[in-house]
Amino acid sequence: MSLEENKALVRKVIEAFNKRNLALLDKLVAPDYIDHYHQLRSLEEFKQFLAMILKAFPDWHEDIEDIIAEGDKVWYRFEATATHTGEYRGHLPSTGRKITLAPTGKKIKPHGVIIYRIINGKIAEAWEVSNLMDIYEPLGIIGYKEFPKDVS
């Protein structure tokens, strides 16, 4: 596939998620998909993870801010918006601790970069770098205190 076709594939995945059409992922993502960040090991696990996100944040919407293709990889920088209106079950990646959070009604605005590797016209592998503070601080899972202004 060309670099432009690879970028179009990534755009289709984001569009399927934004339109809640997870069944379309069967045509876009490899059955043995690996997500290194979320530790997912199949297309089915990926779809279950996305369904969990949509249960907790039914209005989740992701926008591609930048997209770059090179070889068999596509990098994209995203910004998402969502409101926490459903139960969230997840884990704190740095500790592995599982958490369950009742709906808070709070809005979040996560940012990050995802790299997809494409094999035979399907997304086969993913890596992600996100600012979890964009999610966990507004939901009250963790707090952040501003550093003193006169740090020496």
For the chain, the structural domain boundaries read: 3-139
pLDDT tens, residue by residue, 33-71: 999 998 999 999 999 999 999 999 999 999 999 999 999
Task: List, as one string, the DSSP characters of 29-92.
Answer: EEEEEEETTTTB-SHHHHHHHHHHHHHH-TT-EEEEEEEEEETTEEEEEEEEEEE--S-EEEE-
* Distance from C-alpha of 22 to C-alpha of 7, rounded to nearest angstrom: 19
The model's pTM: 0.89
| Structure tokens belonging to residue 119 | 């094999």
Task: Decide if domain 3-139 falls under CATH 3.10.450.50.
Answer: yes
Strand partners for 66:
77
* Residue 146 clears pLDDT 70, i.e. is over it: no
Position 114 scores a pLDDT of 98
Q: Please state the rounded mean pLDDT for residues 113-132.
A: 95
Q: Which helix H or strand E contains 25, and what residues bound it? A: helix 25-28
Q: Longest C-alpha distance within the chain, in Å?
A: 55
* Residue 93 clears pLDDT 80, i.e. is over it: no
